[in-house]
Structure 1
Amino acid sequence: MPFARANGIEIYWERAGAGPPLLFISGTGGDLRVKPNVFDGPLPRSFDMLAYDQRGLGRSGKPDTAYSMADYADDAAALMGEIGWDEALVIGVSFGGMVAQELVLRHPARVKRLVLACTSPGGAGGASFPFHEIEHLKGEARARHLIPISDVRRTEAWAREHPDAYAQLVEMGARDPFADEPGHAMGAHRQLEARRFHDAWDRLPQIACPVMIAAGRYDGIARPETQEKMAARIPGAVLRWFEGGHLFMIQDRTAVPAMAEFLLAA
């Protein structure tokens, strides 16, 4: 299995596809063992894509110390260096978009073009949904709480009218096949604590590479008004709306091709 010693920890990574280098940074709780994942989608058909388990998650190292957003960004930069990439196109999704903001701000030469998907800048620009406040919710209780937030169209009335679809969402949201692994709960907690203090708002005008902000119209986690603020704050940023909530990349089949088109428009 591919591991790299980067920024003081062991990072598990995978790489597939052909084309220009693309670093994919995953969201809260991301684990490459969970299938299907980004390698099962269309991106490897257009890019030499690298994805990894972030610190505290999956098969990567789980140091029992406080994590910061700077740590996550430096992990990404160090991993790129370990595999021999000086720069790459970057997609950051949700929490990964927060990491990507720190990456481009701390290591601007590493990022050629950037897609920030369903994410938030923090600070005066607005934070994403405070997952640290519902950390006590597990399994089905957590899934039921998040369904109407992830996609604001999924109200109680919608759930009553679509019982089978709702039950499937609950089942998917409640599943955590690695919950009992040593270090899993601690690593997840450390990630939520770092996420809680994410704030790149004042520094966003420093971003100089081309940026696309990709957003779901019905996202209650990374809210639409936050996307508009972020787009106005980053010089030259392009804001694209897609039909869906926080998972619009799955809900709207035009989303990933639109991201790829932006990244390839050198």
Structure 2
Amino acid sequence: MDTKTSDQGSKAAPLIILPGLMCDSRMFADLVDAFPAAQVIDGFYAGCDRIEAMADYALARMPARISLLGHSMGARVALELLRKAPDRVERLALVDTGVHSPRPGEREARYALRDIGRDQGMAALVADWLPPMVGFAGLRNEALMDSLYTMAVSAGLSTFEAQIEALLNRPSVDALLPTIACPTLAMVGRQDQWSPVAQHEAIVAAIPGAQLRVVEGAGHMMPAEAPQAFNTLVGEWLAMPATPDFRNISYHAKGEV
């Protein structure tokens, strides 16, 4: 988007953004610039080590009725928030994420990163973790990589350890997904290696009326890697009717972005 959209481009409820692992408002700087009324739940969830507690942290800091966008781990927090307070969520966006339970080897992989941080420091942990999270073009963008690196390092090891425990103990959402009745969009970067397109196809298959958008050339950090395309999709999601009629309307973001 080339111009700021102070009214969010619609009559939608206020936009609330839930960041992912080791992320904060710096991930969404371009989105907030385009939608100045948007609010990012910052503070790395105050060190919460369970998804349920992260959802409570967000609930205490948001308006009564919201348009809820969660990125990566933040999307899992968004689903838990929806479970706790469905009447407060007008619409839902799930970005670069998944809805599956922990898989074989996930605990070991997350603890291996934790141990790098313990043995070599946070900078070494992020240097190992970050590159696979970014698409090919993003890896060549020095300013972007520096920004993401600085953000993740600033989270600190204690935050990382708390957040991976939250992810490893995440609640099941299998029973929740079919009950979601608000306008729901799943968005993903085509080159997302951590949360690939197939995971988002599973999300839209499980949520009645949910729709999928794929951003070409972006990885897991898609909101920062491809902000113009991401902002366009967010604007179209905010313009969806906030009633059950949304299921009967087909939205297309000019094809895949």
TM-score w.r.t. length of structure 2: 0.73
SS in 2 for 1:235: coil
Cα displacement (A) at 1:122: 2.2
Larger RCO (CA under 8 A, 6+ residues apart): 2
Is 1:72–1:99's contact at 8 Å kept on the other side of the alignment?
yes
Residues 1:245 and 2:228 aligned together: no
**Which residue number corresponds to residue 240 of structure 2?**
265
Distance 1:109 1:47, change over 3 A: farther
In structure 2, C-alpha distance between the alignment counterparts of 1:177 and 1:117, rounded to whole Å: 18
Report the alpha carbon displacement of residue 167 of structure 1 after superposing the two structures with TM.
6.8
Partner AA of 1:143 in structure 2: A
Instruction: Provide closer, same or farther for how the CA distance between residues 52 and 152 of structure 1 changes in structure 2, counting only shifts above 3 A.
Output: closer
The verdict on how the C-alpha distance between 1:174 and 1:246 changes in structure 2, with shifts beyond 3 A counting, is same
Q: Which moved more, 1:196-205 or 1:211-220?
A: 196-205
CA drift of 1:115 comes to 0.7
| 1:52-201 paired onto structure 2 within 5 Å | 52-54=41-43, 57=44, 61-62=46-47, 67-80=49-62, 85-123=63-101, 131-137=110-116, 138-140=122-124, 142-147=126-131, 149-151=132-134, 153=136, 165=140, 171-172=146-147, 174-175=149-150, 179=154, 184-198=156-170, 199-201=172-174
Structure 1: runs of 5 or more not aligned = 1-15, 160-164
Deviations 1:168-210 (A, max 9, x none): 676555436865x9xx432331111001222323321121111
8 A Cα contact 1:26 1:94, kept in partner: yes
| Deviations 1:6-61, CA, capped at 9 Å, x for gaps | xxxxxxxxxx95444111111111244xxx552x324454462121224xx3xx64
For 1:75 and 1:106, locate their aligned partners in 2 and report how far apart those are by CA, in whole Å: 12
Greater helix content? 2
Q: Which runs of 5+ in 2 are unaligned?
A: 117-121, 242-257
- Counterpart CA distance in 2 for 1:23 and 1:251 is 20
Instruction: State the partner residue of 2:196.
Output: 223
| Whole-angstrom CA distance in 2 between matches of 1:221 and 1:110 | 30
CA distance in 2, matches of 1:99, 1:263: 20
Structure (1 or 2) with the greater strand fraction: 1
Give RMSD over aligned pairs: 3.4
Q: Give the Cα–Cα distance (whole angstroms) in 1 for the partners of residues 82 and 129 of structure 2.
A: 33
Q: TM-score, normalization: structure 1?
A: 0.70
Deviation at 1:133, TM superposition (A): 3.9
The alignment of Structure 1 onto Structure 2 pairs a total of residues equal to 224
